[in-house]
Amino acid sequence: MFENIFDALPSIANLTIPALIGEIFTEEEREYSRTYDAILKAIANGKQISTEITSYLYSLRAIPAQDLSLVHPFLKILQSVGLIEKIKIYDKNKFYYRHISPLNNYYYYLDAKYAISERDSQQIQAKKVLELKFPQYVEQFMMNLLSKILGSWPEKIIEKDYKIDIAFVDFKKIKVVVEVKWGQNITEDIIEKIEQKMNNYYCRKILIVLNEENLPRIPKNLEVWDAKKILKNL
C-alpha cells in the first residue's frame, strides 16, 4: 500500500495541484500568476527567507527590482489563502516560509527542478525525489503535532554553526528543543553532533527517529521518540 502511494503521488500532484491553485485566484489576480508561481517554486526549492525569495524572483525577472516591498504583498496573499505559512526564527527578527501542504511542496519542487508542468513526469525520478523529501515532510508533521500536544508555538533555531529543527518557546524562553532524524542511517558521529548542539540548551530535549532499535546507542540527556512510542502516546 505504501509503495502504491509513492507510485501514485507524482501523477496525482501533476494533475491536481495546478488546477487547485488556479481556482484560488480571481480573474483580476491572474495577471500576477507568474509571480505567485515563482514564489511557490522558490519556497519549495529551499529559498525560505524573504530576502532569498526576492533574489530568486529577481533572477527570473518576475519582479522589476530586487526589492522586498515588491514581494511581501504576494507573500501575505499566499498566507491569507492558506498556501504558505511562516515560522519564526528564534531570537531573530526573521521568519522562514514553507508550504502548508507537503503535496504542494512536492509538486513545486519537482517543477522548479525538472519543469514537470511543461512535460510528463518520470515516475522513477519523481519517486526518488519523494523519498528524498519525505524526512522534511515528517519534520513538518512532527512540528504541527507537538505544537498541539505542548500548546506552544513552534520556532526554528538557526545559528552560525548549527541548526535545530524545532524549538518550542514560552515568552522567549525555550522549553523544548527537537531534532527529527527520520528514515536516516544514524551513526555514532551523528548522535555526537546532536548531543553537542543540544548541550547549548537547558530544557527538555527530544530526538525523533523511525525506530529506536536502529540507533547505535541512546543519546545522553535526550528523550528518544520513535514511531511506536508516538502512536502509543497519541
- The owner of cell 508533521 is 141
Picking from 193, 197, 214, the residue whose alpha carbon sits closest to that of residue 205 is: 197
Give the CATH number, domain containing residue 199. Answer: 3.40.1350.10
**Position with higher pLDDT, 62 vs 183:** 62
Give the CATH number, domain containing residue 79. Answer: 1.10.10.10
Going by pLDDT thresholds of 50, 70 and 90, the confidence category of residue 33 is confident
Same domain, 78 and 49: yes
Same domain, 151 and 77: no
Same domain, 100 and 200: no
Same domain, 66 and 146: no
Q: What are the grid coordinates assigned to 56, written together?
A: 530568486
107: domain range? 2-121
Picking from 38, 44, 37, the residue whose alpha carbon sits closest to that of residue 18 is: 37
The verdict on residue 186 lying in a domain is: yes
Same domain, 100 and 157: no
Same domain, 64 and 104: yes
The 10s digit of each residue's pLDDT in 99-108 is 999 989 998 9
The 10s digit of each residue's pLDDT in 130-184 is 888 989 999 999 999 999 888 888 999 999 899 999 999 988 899 999 999 997 7
